[in-house]
Amino acid sequence: MLTQRILRDYIQLGIQVRPDIAAKELPEAVALFESTMSDLKQFAPDKAVSSALADVEKLWKPVKAVATAAPDRAKAEQLWLDTENLLIACNTLVQRLEDVSDDDGNYLVNTAGLQRMLSQRAVVFHMMRAWGFSDPRYEQGFTETQGHFKLAMEELIDHDQTSAEIRSKLEEVQKLFVRFEKGAQGGTNNFVLGMMANSAYKILNNLNDIVRMYELLVINKS
């Protein structure tokens, strides 16, 4: 999630969409990414997790170097590519962590966490087009991300370990995502992009709550 949030904030600063909020969020996301990596290094239960962490750290360096500098359109596509590689490495790390836990609750935590990433990823693809990049990968990526997000939402809602309280929260996210999709149909002017960014922010906050609720389920089972 943090890789896409960092990229989203960088692009928002570049195209001046809610720049005051993006300027506050970007350094917070960078700091949180690094503190999370530090915590995981101390936890690393086996060599597979340690190796995956090393890959993430290596790929993080060029992303951090650009993301913490002034936004530059000339560097945006390379940052996107570097972030894609970092995202793949982060997903591998999550899979390695899942491998050392056979608790189905952890799968739900990670799936809800993946939804946070997808919600921000959708914004990134749309805003890259708004910044004037016409590569068909961005339109295709936006469409694919929408599909993955909606499928995973249905999976979480229908899961037998999802409580009524969590299900209600998930359904709220679904409604917000419909609003987000309608905004995407409105074009790429700053007003529309601001509305989309606001919807994505609300979706992210709700998903943060949902992740914590699933984490409590895991704790209560142990």
Displacement of CA 132 from its chain's centroid (Å):
22
Percent of the chain with pLDDT over 90: 74
Q: Dump pLDDT digits (tens) for 139-190.
A: 999 999 999 999 999 999 999 999 999 999 999 999 999 999 988 888 788 8
pLDDT at residue 222, rounded to an integer = 65
Report the distance separating Cα 53 and Cα 44, nearest Å.
8
- Is the torsion defined by CA of 100, 104, 109, 115 positive or negative? positive
pLDDT at residue 104, rounded to an integer = 63
Report the distance separating Cα 155 and Cα 214, nearest Å.
14
Which residue in this structure is represented by tokens 């995502």? 177
pLDDT beyond 80 at 50: yes
- Whether this model's pTM surpasses 0.85: yes
What average pLDDT does the segment 213-219 reach?
Answer: 89
Q: Dump pLDDT digits (tens) for 70-101.
A: 999 999 999 999 999 999 999 998 888 877 76
pLDDT beyond 80 at 44: no
Report the distance separating Cα 159 and Cα 184, nearest Å.
29
Report the distance separating Cα 104 and Cα 116, nearest Å.
19
Cβ atoms of 4 and 33 closer than 8 Å? no
Closest CA to 27 of 60, 69, 72, 57: 69
Buried b (16+ CB within 10 A) or exposed e, 10-23: bbbbbbebbeebbe
pLDDT at residue 107, rounded to an integer = 85
Q: Which residues contact 121 (CB under 8 A, 6 or more apart)?
A: 4, 141, 145
Cα separation values, 86 from 40, 177, 194, 196, Å: 16, 25, 27, 25
Cβ atoms of 57 and 37 closer than 8 Å? yes
Tokens of 100: 């050392």
